[in-house]
Structure 1
């Protein structure tokens, strides 16, 4: 009987600890829509992570996807994204328009757009989303420009990348 307890304590419990490990990852999809002369951006992050970050940064209580959710939460999302996300298209800094957000399960999708873009030869992205609060956070960037797909994984130590499409 003692042997079974020891086995359980030293083998099973450590294995269970590994299965509950949480990954910190966001996905940013960037697509150049030549016909509409726009760069469309979709970002998805885990709801609990973005809620923790905004609650701490702005001293609020978002309570996302509940009846107590703040009615003006888009103001905070927009402000947060503007401070954590920057784009340069063809070496010129470009401001994005915050279109809105959508909840899907435990994810929040943010929709952004950069208008009046006639050509894309390069995109430089700076993505610091959630890096302050989650040191192991990684931000995956996937782009599609002129039917060319490129991806890069950004982190706390490497949060900026320039992708070229020539």
Structure 2
């Protein structure tokens, strides 16, 4: 019985330490269509430490926002009805453990297909998962991205 309890104790310790060292890597992007301005507005939330590790700059430095902008522009592509759209960075803010990034694409009058390539943090963190939730004229769609599935497309 004593050996059994000892083995159970060791097993419990192994299980607890394996969960303690596990880190969760994700980003969440919300996409809203603004009919009046024919604009897709994007809000992306990322972990501050993770994006800081990816761009190799301290989030408290003056150049952080410029590097985040460059990083998002290099790792997020948008195609509306098969045509590439230019993303305009509108700002960012660091709020504790989260970085919020704001960007938009204008001149979007009607959407039949929306294709996104999202490689945010996938090169730095192999288990990274990126979620994109899209709201368009009363319809909701969700996309997920991970290594090996960097491009996704939805139809409306």
Structure 2 unaligned blocks of 5 or more: none
Residue 59 of structure 1 is matched in structure 2 by none
> Would the aligned equivalents of 1:30 and 1:144 in 2 still touch at CA under 8 Å?
yes
Residue 75 of structure 2 is matched in structure 1 by 84
Cα offset, 1:13, TM superposition: 4.2
Task: Please give the residue correspondences for 1:97-108 in structure 2 after superposition, counting only pairs within 5 Å.
Answer: 97-108=88-99
- How far, CA to CA, are the matches of 1:22 and 1:151 in structure 2? 23
Let me know the Cα RMSD of the aligned residues: 1.8
> Would the aligned equivalents of 2:58 and 2:64 in 1 still touch at CA under 8 Å?
no
- How far, CA to CA, are the matches of 2:36 and 2:67 in structure 1? 32
What per-residue deviation string (whole Å, max 9, x for no partner) do you get for residues 110-158 of structure 1?
A: 0001112222222100000001111101111110111100002111100
Residue 23 of structure 1 is matched in structure 2 by 24
Residue 14 of structure 1 is matched in structure 2 by 15
- How far, CA to CA, are the matches of 1:136 and 1:48 in structure 2? 16
Residue 120 of structure 2 is matched in structure 1 by 129
- How far, CA to CA, are the matches of 2:123 and 2:46 in structure 1? 15
- How far, CA to CA, are the matches of 2:46 and 2:18 in structure 1? 24
- How far, CA to CA, are the matches of 1:30 and 1:122 in structure 2? 14
Cα offset, 1:75, TM superposition: 1.7
Q: Name the count of aligned residue pairs.
A: 155
> Would the aligned equivalents of 2:127 and 2:147 in 1 still touch at CA under 8 Å?
yes
- How far, CA to CA, are the matches of 1:115 and 1:47 in structure 2? 28
Structure 1 stretches of at least 4 aligned residues deviating more than 4 Å after TM superposition? 1-7
- How far, CA to CA, are the matches of 1:144 and 1:21 in structure 2? 32
TM-score, length basis structure 1: 0.85
- How far, CA to CA, are the matches of 1:74 and 1:21 in structure 2? 28
Structure 1 unaligned blocks of 5 or more: 56-61
- SS of aligned partner of 2:30: strand
